Structure 1
């Protein structure tokens, strides 16, 4: 997206009013100056001399030339922007029938949008949207999102009291998930006490660790020992050059915010990521254009891959958007299941277990469909995606 964004930035500079940093005249500035000149001439129309009239004509011609020059630049940049977008998205998006015609579908879409505003902390926008769409969001859910963003704001300001209070109230839930949130919050406070310039004596930090961190010893034994051992490398300048330098890194505290948001949303039965943002990032990031291009090519070649409308292309996703893998056997064109898992044969190719058994001969050897000159033993290893 670098090329389209670059051209869009140039277009914004050409059409925006010039600031102190941008001294170049644009259309708006030229039109304002021209209007000011004409207004001044109109107010003094009774006293205009021949020289004044010639000066006005020259000003109008100069401003007209400036406007024409800027207009040409805008046309040029707009054309380049269109070409950059066409190059980035070479295939037009498919045309589908209206997906949100029914009342229930519209209601579901509006609810998703309103929850998106609430989850991202845009509370004023969410309130306006709820009033105009007549979507009913439980007040309890709204208050929970308010609480979430208040706690995240506190964590951003290095205040973990609210987060610790929430973690303490939901300890059983966090333990059922094996979440390290409460331990990490106490660890953050312990490190801050240990490195605080107002309390250089580590005794207060040790007392806090014995009271708050010791209950987590069995689940985080190795980390607990590191937290205790790092005291021997104080002060901070020495700790930063030791094997415990990561405990003195600010990133140790920055990780609390996303971890808390993840556990809070899980407690509400919601995904870690905002669904509408994920859809926009994946679909708007070029996936739709690639899928449509592949469909068009396969349709023209009459080589549809399967009856399930699948296409043999890979969509590159960010690591945070890789939730699980689905394996489709290249032989049977069926998706793997727990009863029919993917199996890797000795040559390195992977096929479904049922296909492996069907390819097996009475001699117990398998002829790989992708290695026609080689017969392989039926020994295979199950692949876990």
Structure 2
């Protein structure tokens, strides 16, 4: 799928990594206030396994919805055919036999689709059960082995996001963790991304149709942006009459909610693709396709409850932040220190220092400093916000908290408290 990691130190989303890293580190580093036993650390760590369970569960629900729509459509067609035959007063014996034969064949096809759908649902349900069993198997005695499996899962996640599917599959098979990883989910996304990079919106529109209800619920603009780009391509090809027909059919329904964007793109019929006006010229630039790729990655991750960054990057940032001190950047830093290497120093540059050096964390929501009086809290998906911001959000929504980055909904009791000095 090649979901690229966000660049460190640029933009509000980029701050997510260091923020999460510093707080996650604060949870795991032993201090006077943080839990010190292995079991307590394991309990806190399991609360961050949100993506591990959310992805197969969402895939399971999607499979059920797809199978339901398919069967409902086929059954409706069969009932309609039976009604037409029953209402026909002048039908010969041969036509009746032919119609019945056709219905039997269609019913057999429905039976086959039901069996295939049931098999797919059982596989998804089994995968969800395997992950629950895996989390349930974690205890203080096998913590080292369990963390080793987690590392392999993280590596497979990274390889899948970077489109190294063969390597990801081999690692999963050699480690016997096929049911604990989501390679097939990323392969599904790769088809859409490859289509957009080839300047084809067909696969992306098909994906939007399959997930129409979920995208509508989240008020996504992705389908509208795809339609806009398809309209622009018709204008670029100087196929103006077809572009007008396309706008009437596919863009006009969005006019009530996205009027300004609709008006702007319709103006391209007058200014044409060779315009020098910056406001409209940008619509014809190739980077618009890159924007659609980035937008799809965000919608895809939101749909499955994934983090935008690879898990490997998040864990790496957490580890580097825990090790980072001013001493690491001095000339006499020991070679045993990972941050003595230039590559690690470069990665750790935008990250805060470890908590012993009073790193400063700023809440994404309130933009206020998080300290001992306003400590950070970690959501099950790993994102960090200040206690003040989350309390205010919970009070306004009957104890429920909605992550502004991923849309995750959880209760205040689901939070993991972080400690900083």
TM-score scaled by length of structure 1: 0.50
Instruction: Give the number of the structure whose residues are more often helix, by fraction.
Output: 2
TM-score scaled by length of structure 2: 0.46
Q: Which has the higher contact order (CA 8 A, sep 6+)?
A: 2
Between structure 1 and structure 2, the one with the greater Rg is 1
